[in-house]
Structure 1
Amino acid sequence: MQSHPPRNDGDRTLEDDSHAIVTRRIQRLSSHLTIPVSSPHQSQLHMLTCARAKLEVDTRALSSLMRGKHREIQERVFMFFDSRPDLQTPIEISMKDHRELCMRQLLALVREAGIRPFRYVVEDPAIYFAIAEAVGSVDMSLAIKMGVQYSLWGGSVLNLGTKKHRDKYFDGIDSLEYPGCFAMTELHHGSNVQGIQTVATFDPLTDEFVINTPNDGAIKWWIGNAAVHGKFATVFAKLMLPTHDSKGVSDMGVHSFIVPIRDLKTHETLPGIEIHDCGHKVGLNGVDNGALRFTSVRIPRDNLLNRFGDVSRDGKYTSSLPTINKRFAATLGELVGGRVALAYSSVSVLKIAVIIAVRYSLLRQQFGPPKKPEVSILDYQSHQHKLMPMLASAYAFHFSAQYLVDKYSEMKKTHDEQLVGDVHALSAGLKSYITSFTAKSLSTCREACGGHGYAAVNRFGSLRNDHDIFQTFEGDNTVLLQQVAGDLLKQYNEKFQGGTLTVTWNYLRESMNTYLSQPNPVTARWEGEGHLRDPKFQLDAFRYRTSRLLQSVAVRLRKHSKTLGMFGAWNRCLNHLLTLAESHIESVILAKFVEVVQNCPDANARAALKLVCDLYALDRIWKDIGTYRNVDYVAPNKAKAIHKLTEYLSFQVRNIAGELVDAFDLPDQVTRAPIAMQSEAYAQYTQYVGFKFIEKAINR
């Protein structure tokens, strides 16, 4: 027998490669035919037996995980306002009184309670967001007013200005001596910030910028703090430089400027500035939104917030960023904190609504078997179908919003460019997805509480009205979802050009080819509970849908762009693009939830979270089962099993629903609705409308 020397990879033959390919195919087929460890068929009797075994929940352990390390400062906010009845917002209040109360609440928080939110905008954004969440539970108008003062007005000075601006304005903003506004939105331009028409023209003779509103469409509109309290405004305008050519001026793009709008001592409106009240709104009437028009308003050249672009005394423009688009992107990138705050705050609103609806649904009894006691309305499958997936979503959103806050805090510390892009896309997606979900859920919760949900004291009306604008400001949700879709397409193209992918899109880098392969006919039929509750199956299903949507819309865009151009093609595929963005965000939310479950240190809390996570995942899959069926990812028998298991998990979550909402750890003075009180809810409700409390007679 003839021996052969060892071969390196370059000595491989076609026969070797063919043998390796065959071996891999056999291994893959074998894995497809392997039945999961869990039994694929469970009897209905076994399901019912398991359902009767209620999961024991250690509320304290779960609450510790949910409230986290910033619980103490939130408790300070709760306790302060609970001790001050004069600062609590009544159910019925005029717009004027609400605005004045809101300002008093903010002043008291800063000057009496000693909580200085502005310090945390710089030092630790996670603490700032925790304060904002707690303040929002006192009055959502207060949270928005605080956000305008510290995150928008104050944040623009810190993030878009330089040291000279911080030195001059920090203390006044922090102490509320300098209440301010954030004047970006115009009557004709909201989401399209690059299209704003306000102009700031440099005058080299006086070393000043001259701010003008050229037409009514350029009036700054919906500006918080402007109608009553603001003394300064960060005004976004096109920076114009005089030139010696036929054009006369040169447009350097959108920049931001500090513009005093009222006298610091007299509070009189300054010359050239016209301020009008935007009037009564659907909600948030504690915030004084106003409209601003500027006529030849002169400000010093130093009032240009010059981090990304500056003008010298002789009128020369300099910037470290070479183009208008890059400067604009950098400017908006520094303002992403507002979207982070809205996503985080929207989860807080959802929690309060779910707490009220679940506690009332456990309390309220109605109908039942003949000659038997009435049953809780949460025992009805239809009610579980309304509220239990919503409760699961509140948990899922909590962890994804917390993840977003952590990434934002890291971004502010490191200024890593890749992280900046990641946070921008993630905040756009989570803000739009969570706020849209919460807005719909508020109506569902109101309906779930029947007529009592319609009473103003039980809060659904005010929560719904105050939260509704979350879908629009800091970026319209439809526009933000398009940004997410655009970023996905960019990442998709870079994937096939050998580029890198940011953290949020890891699954595209790792498994894109797998997700775009033909669905396996064997796994498409697996229906065992163990398989369906396996996080790998759930994540694969979410990611397969996203990857397929991404590939198909990329093909459609290429096809239509040949005849319609890029804008026309984008518009032709717009609904597809929005679905893609939502699918991707759901994938991110589930991945974070799965990670939290797996890393939960307490076994008892981990079991409860696993149950809730499974309901979240399978409910989402079932809601889009048509997509999975159309591409044969899920066979009919498996679809039926998913539906049955979702209903079963809803029942299981119902069994611990009280403990799950208790784990949000929000005291009664925060939820406030009488029907959501943890004890004697009906007694407090009747007393609120005027009935006297009568002690039950005790038999002696």
Structure 2
Amino acid sequence: MQGQDSNPTAGDDHRLAVRRIQRLSLHLTPIPRSLCDSDELQMLRCSRGTPKLVVETSNLSDYMRGKNREIQERIYEYFNSKPELQTPLEISKDDHRELCMRQLVGLVREAGIRPFRYVVDEPAKYFAVLEAVGSVDMSLGIKTGVQYSLWGGSVVNLGTKKHRDKYYDGIDSLEYPGCFAMTELHHGSNVQGLQTTATFDPLANEFIINTPNDGAIKWWIGNAAVHGKFATVFAKLLLPTHDIKGVSDMGVHAFIVPIRDLKTHQTLPGVEIHDCGQKVGLNGVDNGALKFSSVRIPRDNLLNRFGDVSRDGKYTSSLPTKNKRFAAMLGELVGGRVGLAYSSVGVLKISTTIAIRYSLLRQQFGPPKQPEISILDYQSHQHKLMPMLASTYAFHFATVHLVDNYSEMKRSHDEELIADVHVLSAGLKAYVTSYTAKALSICREACGGHGYAAVNRFGILRNDHDIFQTFEGDNTVLLQQVAADLLKQYKEKFQGGRFTVTWNYLRESMNAYLSQPNPVTARWESEDHLRDPKFQLDAFRYRTSRLLQSVAVRLRKHSKTLGGFGAWNRCLNHLLTLAESHIESVILSKFIEAVEICPDENSRAALKLVCDLYALDRIWKDIGTYRNVDYVAPNKAKAIHKLTEYLSFQVRNIARELVDTFDLPDHVTKAPIAMKSEAYSHYTQYVGF
């Protein structure tokens, strides 16, 4: 409205406010930020009510939660009916560990939920189980994952029929609680650098497991300190030779090593176990350290899907090199990353639900002589929470896509899909868990002093979730894997190679994304244009393509003087930004697809609004990149900012329905300030009034 109504009279206030809303698509002027009198406040309330979408939470929830809703509700109902299995706020480490084991036993033996049966055949259902039990107690979610994803998954994915026949039933029933002993004191992310050894003794037909130095002690091993009876131990497979070296290193392999007696539970000879002690969070999981001194195991305890040793000590494998065997082994273990990404979204749903419900409830300040208004009516609060709510929805659809791809990969064993899932699981796990970790602190802050009360869960959720950024691959390392794959695909593009699934957009139109920005398009600022999925996706992909091309040039330049490793380190921050940009492009594309195929019209309209907020908020947060290359002109940047604020305002109007769609019962969210009704009454009763 430049040059028009620049000095409206007081009597024009109503007309001006109405015109601003009605003509938003033309000039994108935001709702006035300063509301000083009762008439203006009433206008805000009216304007907020007029465009509000009708959201049928049951329809939208059915669309989002899908066919695995029933098993999650069974889990919620079981634990709600068992007060003795609910984790109290104040509990010692040792008591928490025992409770966590009782929770898992109750889930499996009493509630009849058998997660191991879904690990291979129905992965989507398995990840739904993990999300649900993690909502009950995150320690329970991790302990479940250790037993079935890691220990059990290593047996069925890295072993052969003889291993499944021997161990499957015991793992399924919890008769064989086990560990996943990969990480060492000196080595975590660099798995190929592990130092534990497994030397074959052909005379005894056994492997000898040894910890050669303290740096090779297996560390942070879940289930080891108290409950585990077996461990899948990752070690260098050494075969005796007749040359001067004496042994041949065949690379890292996995071995089943008993660590405690099945009947007495006593630690077995040669195995030394110590408790890693109190942690920042997840103290229901008994992390321990394992050291092996000449522990002998039968040759059959080698998990031999990708490499085997015969009775006379000869090594055979269907894969020709150590690196290919290693890649195949790790490729079978990506389920842990898939589960963490999926579960992290579950944590984000809980935290946003608590923060938004409380922000709708809490009233503070307002115009003189008028009722106080909800703190979610403040633009600053909307700025904190509404893009976060949009991101929660975006991550939901992205991780559902990841789970679907993982399930198809397990069924088909398609090589292209295996490569795609490996990179996508690394990227989504890193991106989503980092975002959720930051979001938890923002949610705590958004709830003020009441967010600091342990009963309202933010501290517990934050501490328990924090390690998601580290295990199953440190996030910085995982993002480098994504960047390395992008560069590999970039190189193959110019050599006629094939692209993996998530690279289709670069295969199809990379040249267009790298061309000079259209000076006309750069100035388009209508609402229809900015809310067009093609503009949004093009902007995300343009940024990724620019980052990829520029980092490739930089790496070539620096490698001449610094070598490959030095050049990579010099460009590391650039590479991490590239990986995050690519993952954001995938997230947005999957959100757009989910909007388009949503069968219910009202739900589709709500999802479109949320998707637009996610896309434009991300573009605005990196607006400097787009401005630096003239992809977005100054007025268009301003229009993006204004529309982002207005979309946050519109999402606020349906925020209650959007969090209700997550369908989390009060006994799952638990926080008194997040109760659907009489929240303050629950809170005061908790402290004794």
8 Å Cα contact 1:208-1:298 kept in structure 2:
yes
Matched position secondary structure for 1:241: strand
Evaluate the alpha carbon distance shift between residue 446 and residue 46 of structure 1 in structure 2; reply closer, same or farther with a 3 A threshold: closer
8 Å Cα contact 1:309-1:319 kept in structure 2:
yes
1:42 aligns with 2:27: yes
1:348 aligns with 2:333: no
Evaluate the alpha carbon distance shift between residue 535 and residue 205 of structure 1 in structure 2; reply closer, same or farther with a 3 A threshold: same
Matched position secondary structure for 1:238: strand
Q: TM-score, normalised by structure 2?
A: 0.94
1:314 to 312, 315, 320: 312
Equivalent-residue separation in structure 2 for 1:249 and 1:373 (angstroms)? 81
1:682 to 673, 680, 685: 680
Aligned residue for 2:558?
A: 560
Matched position secondary structure for 2:26: coil
**Deviation per CA, 1:235-269, whole angstroms, max 9, x where unpaired?**
00000000000000000000000000000000000
Alignment of 1:10-29 (within 5 A): none
Matched position secondary structure for 2:27: coil
Equivalent-residue separation in structure 1 for 2:30 and 2:346 (angstroms)? 39
Evaluate the alpha carbon distance shift between residue 102 and residue 160 of structure 1 in structure 2; reply closer, same or farther with a 3 A threshold: same
Equivalent-residue separation in structure 2 for 1:107 and 1:74 (angstroms)? 17
Matched position secondary structure for 2:266: coil
Aligned residue for 1:535?
A: 533
RMSD: 1.2
Evaluate the alpha carbon distance shift between residue 513 and residue 484 of structure 1 in structure 2; reply closer, same or farther with a 3 A threshold: same
**Deviation per CA, 1:314-372, whole angstroms, max 9, x where unpaired?**
00000000110000000000000000000000000000000000000000000000000
How many residues align structurally?
654
8 Å Cα contact 2:30-2:645 kept in structure 1:
no
Aligned residue for 2:646?
A: 648
Alignment of 1:333-412 (within 5 A): 333-412=331-410
Q: CA deviation at 1:40?
A: 6.8
**Deviation per CA, 1:275-333, whole angstroms, max 9, x where unpaired?**
00000000000000000000000000000000000000000000000110000000000
Aligned residue for 1:71?
A: 69
Aligned residue for 1:14?
A: none
Equivalent-residue separation in structure 2 for 1:266 and 1:401 (angstroms)? 42
2:290 to 265, 289, 292: 292
Aligned residue for 1:229?
A: 227
8 Å Cα contact 1:61-1:602 kept in structure 2:
yes
8 Å Cα contact 1:482-1:578 kept in structure 2:
yes
**Deviation per CA, 1:202-245, whole angstroms, max 9, x where unpaired?**
00110000000000000000000000000000000000000000
Aligned residue for 2:36?
A: none
8 Å Cα contact 1:40-1:526 kept in structure 2:
no
Letter paired with 2:598: C
Alignment of 1:145-160 (within 5 A): 145-160=143-158
Letter paired with 2:76: F
1:143 aligns with 2:141: yes
**Deviation per CA, 1:552-575, whole angstroms, max 9, x where unpaired?**
001111111111111000000000
Letter paired with 1:44: T
Matched position secondary structure for 1:274: strand
Alignment of 1:664-679 (within 5 A): 664-679=662-677
Evaluate the alpha carbon distance shift between residue 46 and residue 81 of structure 1 in structure 2; reply closer, same or farther with a 3 A threshold: closer
Equivalent-residue separation in structure 2 for 1:527 and 1:301 (angstroms)? 69
Q: CA deviation at 1:551?
A: 0.5
Q: CA deviation at 1:526?
A: 0.5
Aligned residue for 1:470?
A: 468
Letter paired with 1:530: D
8 Å Cα contact 1:347-1:434 kept in structure 2:
yes
1:502 aligns with 2:505: no
Matched position secondary structure for 1:658: helix
Equivalent-residue separation in structure 2 for 1:331 and 1:93 (angstroms)? 39
Q: CA deviation at 1:502?
A: 1.0
Equivalent-residue separation in structure 1 for 2:157 and 2:386 (angstroms)? 41
8 Å Cα contact 1:347-1:438 kept in structure 2:
yes
Equivalent-residue separation in structure 1 for 2:120 and 2:319 (angstroms)? 24
Alignment of 1:166-565 (within 5 A): 166-565=164-563
Equivalent-residue separation in structure 1 for 2:139 and 2:28 (angstroms)? 53
Equivalent-residue separation in structure 2 for 1:239 and 1:391 (angstroms)? 48
8 Å Cα contact 1:102-1:141 kept in structure 2:
yes
8 Å Cα contact 1:39-1:530 kept in structure 2:
no
1:99 aligns with 2:97: yes
> What's the % identity of the aligned pairs?
84
Letter paired with 1:324: K
Q: CA deviation at 1:50?
A: 6.5
Matched position secondary structure for 2:369: coil
Aligned residue for 2:17?
A: none
8 Å Cα contact 2:29-2:642 kept in structure 1:
no
Q: CA deviation at 1:54?
A: 1.3
8 Å Cα contact 2:30-2:642 kept in structure 1:
no
Unmatched 5+ residue regions in structure 2? Answer: 1-22, 33-43
2:582 to 584, 607, 610: 584
Equivalent-residue separation in structure 1 for 2:661 and 2:64 (angstroms)? 7
**Deviation per CA, 1:628-662, whole angstroms, max 9, x where unpaired?**
00000000000000000000000000011000000
8 Å Cα contact 1:148-1:182 kept in structure 2:
yes
Q: TM-score, normalised by structure 1?
A: 0.92
8 Å Cα contact 2:363-2:372 kept in structure 1:
yes
Q: CA deviation at 1:44?
A: 3.5
**Deviation per CA, 1:95-131, whole angstroms, max 9, x where unpaired?**
0000000000000100000110000012101010011
Q: CA deviation at 1:496?
A: 1.1
Q: CA deviation at 1:180?
A: 0.2
Letter paired with 1:639: A
Matched position secondary structure for 1:557: helix
Evaluate the alpha carbon distance shift between residue 40 and residue 650 of structure 1 in structure 2; reply closer, same or farther with a 3 A threshold: closer
Letter paired with 1:527: E
> Higher mean Cα deviation, 496-505 or 217-226?
496-505
Equivalent-residue separation in structure 1 for 2:56 and 2:312 (angstroms)? 69
8 Å Cα contact 1:618-1:646 kept in structure 2:
yes
Aligned residue for 1:121?
A: 119
Alignment of 1:84-95 (within 5 A): 84-95=82-93
Equivalent-residue separation in structure 1 for 2:657 and 2:107 (angstroms)? 32
